[in-house]
Structure 1
Amino acid sequence: MPSELIVPPLFSPIPPAIHPRHACIDAGTTAWAEHFEIGSPELRGRLVRHDIGTFSARILPDGREEVILLLSDFVLWLFGVDDGYCEEGELGHLPGELAGVLHRLTRVAQTPHTLMLDDDTLAAGLRDLRARVDRYGTPDQAARWVDALREYFFSVVWEAGHRREGSVPGLNDYTLMRLYDGATSVVLPMLEMGHGYELQAYERTSPAVRAAAEMASFIITWDNDILSDHKERHAAGYHLNVLRVLESEHGLTADEALDLAIAQRDRVMCLFMRLYKHLTRVGSPQLRQYVASLTHFIRAAQDWGISSVRYTTPENPASIPTGFTDTPTDDSPEPLQIPAISWWWEVLPEEATPPPMATGRHGLTLREPKQRWSHAR
């Protein structure tokens, strides 16, 4: 039996928020999943208990209810693909065959009326999702949603290659692919749809705004890895998350890897908050709404991660926190030594960047993970 890690409260300077109709949204997603028969009956029965509607209501706490329901249905659909095809199905070990299936689903998303996968329930659900994306979004938002879905599909095929080989990627490759295989980028167009605006291309594609979106993805996926590690370690078969990558990359124990992963996400969280304040100060009203939605997305994933039965697993209780702390373990303004993301630290103007420090507040660096105060074996 693997040793059990004790995850301390994670740093979160973002207040919680939730749409008042979250219970109705959750019920609506349950009905949608049953109508389209998403996944096997056993998988669908698990997914509808995961409070996905509540999660989506936290992402868009003051957004349009119909778009929150669309987002909730889409997140459940993504889990139908990820859990059903990639994590639990045979295709998860067959990257070539998985790529073929996902390419066909991409075609359905691009051209819903195409004569393809007519008897596939995931394809039927995807056709419905695309119709609603077209209803509530602009043509450009729909195109970006399809492009992001393709990125997600491409990344899970990469993961399937490692699952087939039982291999662990390096930290830089894992960091890059985690920006996509967490499916966070597919949610971004819906942040705009949820408030009925379209972010101007010159703002959305600027390095600072791109960096802010990627930082949000990093924080969300690192938190997900930290909070779901216990579930994955106790499950049968291959698992891949940042703790395993750090153990392999630096020869760390599980406890040391947990400390380092928390330090990394804390450093990025501090940078994100500085960038958020800067963009809120200089951006258009639409950009201010967009970066505010990024903060809601981060906190939504955190609240969901410590409360949903997807992660708390009643049959296998875990030592994960029930709340958050307002103190980071590492607030250094120095870049993480991960080439794929080190450019994030270049986008803030000099006046918005604090003076450089040798290390974080507790001396944490990439090569010197500190011992955590408590752990269980």
Structure 2
Amino acid sequence: MRSFAVSALREPPFPARRHAAVELVAGESTGWARDLGLVATAGGLRRLRGAAPAELAGRACPDAPVDRLRLLTDLISWLFVMDDACDEDGLGASPTRLAPTVADLLGVLDRHGDPTAPRPVAAGPLGIGLDDLCRRVRALDRPALLLRLISQLREYLLALLWEAANREHRRVPGVAEYVQMRRHTGGARPSFTLTDLAYDGLPGAGRRADPALAALDGLATDLVCWCNDLFSYGKELGMAPDVHNLVTTIAGESRQGEEAALWAAADRFNAGLATYAEREAALTGAGDESVQAFLVTRRNWIRATYDWSLTVSRYA
């Protein structure tokens, strides 16, 4: 299926870059996940290494200070572990099974990284890891970004319950519903926020609320998620069937066969990429330096997702 994605998707027309400290951060982040108990078995460690979170972070954030690259890598590692627990280990098979874990993790988020609070041992390794991430973000004294990150992670966790309900009832969502919820289940938004944390000179909250900038940010999220869906589709076919893929939802809604649905999903990505280029050009013309810096971060993420997907063994 990777060969189909390569042949059907338009390559993002942005420069491919990679942080020089990827290997260093990869080793440190794997040690972090292992020490916290996020990966406690050889199989879990193999899955995490196969996901190459530092490779993705290093391509998405090629100019970041090393400590900020490490923070982004640890978040991506945490998201992969959480996703694998839901998708492959059965935690997300039903809302009743997943709900206690989500409740514990929401409790961790409600602490806002309070450095004086005891470690949330009762929430298990996922809770301890999430608490560590929030504490480290809080220590950087960027409260607006901390609050944005916490809000996005709440949305991510609640969206996992939506996925679990669909699995339990074997329900295939419609395309519009799936596209909306995929923006939350994909983990791209909190990853974008930690990318923003790595750089100075990005737009403030008032500028970020501009409809044109918000729309471009949403489209960047979609492109990252749709690219991932097309590259991961083959892997998902080889596991227990899951309805949460753009190809599957297109096939279910349109009653098309698999090949037609694959092409329709690829066409959606390619059209979205063309629209992104148009919107980016319009914002570039405004001459706002903070907006230019923001555009670079989102451009890097789109390109990084494509390049990482080409080689990562997670989707082999």
Normalising by the residue count of structure 1, what TM-score does the alignment of the two structures yield? 0.78
CA distance in structure 2 between the partners assigned to 1:260 and 1:114 by the alignment: 50
* Equivalence for 1:26: 26
**Alignment-derived partner of residue 245 in structure 1:** 249
2:175–2:249: 8 Å Cα contact kept in structure 1? yes
Q: Assess if the C-alpha contact under 8 Å between 1:15 and 1:299 holds in 2.
A: yes
Structure 2: distance between partners of 1:4 and 1:297: 19
Amino acid in structure 2 at the alignment position of 1:106: L
Offset from partner CA, 1:314-354 (integer Å, 9 cap, x none)? xxxxxxxxxxxxxxxxxxxxxxxxxxxxxxxxxxxxxxxxx
- Write the distance in 2 (CA, Å) between the matches of 1:252 and 1:167: 17
Residue 179, structure 1, aligned to residue 168, structure 2: no
Question: Unpaired segments of 5 or more residues in structure 2?
Answer: none
What residue in structure 1 maps to residue 274 of structure 2? 270
Partner of 1:201: 205
- Aligned partner letter, 1:78: L
- Give the Cα separation in 2 of the matches to 1:164 and 1:122: 23
Which deviates more from structure 2 when the two are superposed, residues 45-54 or residues 220-229? Answer: 45-54
C-alpha spacing 1:179/1:119, structure 2 compared with 1 (3 Å):
closer
Deviation at 1:204, TM superposition (A): 0.8
Could you tell me how far 1:103 is from its partner in structure 2? Answer: 2.6
Q: Which residue of 1 aligns with 2:167?
A: 163
Is 1:82 the counterpart of 2:83? The answer is yes
Q: Aligned-residue CA RMSD in angstroms?
A: 1.9
Of stretches 187-196 and 248-257 in structure 1, the one that deviates more from structure 2 is: 187-196
Instruction: Please give the alpha-carbon distance, in whole angstroms, between the structure 2 residues aligned to 1:119 and 1:100.
Output: 9
Q: Identify which of 291, 295, 298 aligns with 2:299.
A: 295
**Counterpart of 1:55?**
56
Any idea what the Cα deviations from partners look like across 1:280-316, whole Å, max 9, x if unmatched? 231532221111100001111111111111112xxxx
Structure 2 counterpart of 1:6, from 4, 11, 28:
4
- Unpaired segments of 5 or more residues in structure 1? 313-377
Cα deviation for residue 96 of structure 1 reads: 3.3
User: What residue is the counterpart of 2:148 in the other structure?
Assistant: 144
Aligned to 1:186, what secondary structure does the other structure show?
helix
- Partners of 1:229 and 1:93 lie apart in 2 by 19
The residue that corresponds to 1:307 in the other structure is 311
State the shift of 1:114 in Å.
Answer: 6.0
Deviation, 1:87, is: 0.6
Partner Cα separation in structure 1 for residue 38 and residue 124 of structure 2: 10
1:101 deviation in Å?
Answer: 1.7
Contact 2:216/2:276 (8 A) holds in 1: yes
Matched AA of 1:44? L
What SS is found at the alignment partner of 1:306? helix
Match of 2:215 among 204, 211, 214: 211
Q: Is the 8 A contact 1:37 1:44 kept in 2?
A: no
The residue identity in structure 1 corresponding to 2:4 is I
Amino acid at match of 2:80: F
Identify if the C-alpha distance between structure 1 residues 103 and 197 changes in structure 2 by more than 3 Å, giving closer, same or farther. farther
Q: Distance in 2 between matches of 1:92 and 1:66?
A: 32
Partner of 1:360: none
| CA contact 2:34–2:40 (8 Å) conserved in 1 | no
Structure 1 pair 281–255 and aligned structure 2 pair: CA distance change class (3 A): same
1:35-94: per-residue Cα shift (whole Å, max 9, x none)? 11214412233202322111101111111211111000110111111111x112333122
Q: Which has the larger radius of gyration?
A: 1
User: Is the Cα contact below 8 Å between 2:51 and 2:80 reproduced in 1?
Assistant: no
Within the candidate set 227, 231, 234, 2:238 is matched to 234
Distance in 2 (alpha carbons) for counterparts of 1:105 and 1:32: 19
Secondary structure at the residue paired with 1:229?
helix
Asked whether the 8 Å contact 2:9–2:269 carries over to 1, the reply is no
Is the alpha carbon distance of 1:39 and 1:283 closer, same or farther for their aligned partners in structure 2, counting shifts above 3 Å? farther
Which structure has the highest helix share of the two? 2
Which residue identity is paired with 2:138?
D
Tell me by how many angstroms 1:116 deviates. Answer: 4.4
Q: Which whole-Å CA distance do the structure 2 matches of 1:163 and 1:30 have between them?
A: 30
**SS across alignment from 2:83:** helix
Task: Give the 4+ runs in structure 1 shifted more than 6 A.
Answer: none
C-alpha distance 4-127 of structure 1, shift in aligned 2 (>3 A): closer
Deviation larger for 143-152 or 8-17: 8-17
Structure 2 residue aligned with 1:91 = 91
**Matches for 1:97-116 after TM superposition, within 5 Å:** 97-111=97-111, 112=113, 113=117, 116=120
- Tell me if the contact between 2:16 and 2:304 (Cα under 8 Å) persists in the aligned partners: yes
SS at match of 1:118: helix
How many aligned residue pairs are there?
309
In the superposition, relative to structure 1, how do residues 176 and 119 fare at CA in structure 2: closer, same or farther (>3 Å)? closer
Counterpart amino acid of 2:100?
A: G
Aligned equivalent of 1:35: 35
Moved more, 252-261 or 230-239: 230-239
Q: Is the 8 A contact 2:247 2:265 kept in 1?
A: yes
| 1:6-48: CA deviation from partner (whole Å, max 9, x where unpaired) | 3315212122111111111111111111111214412233202
Please give the secondary structure, in 1, of the residue aligned with 2:50.
Answer: coil
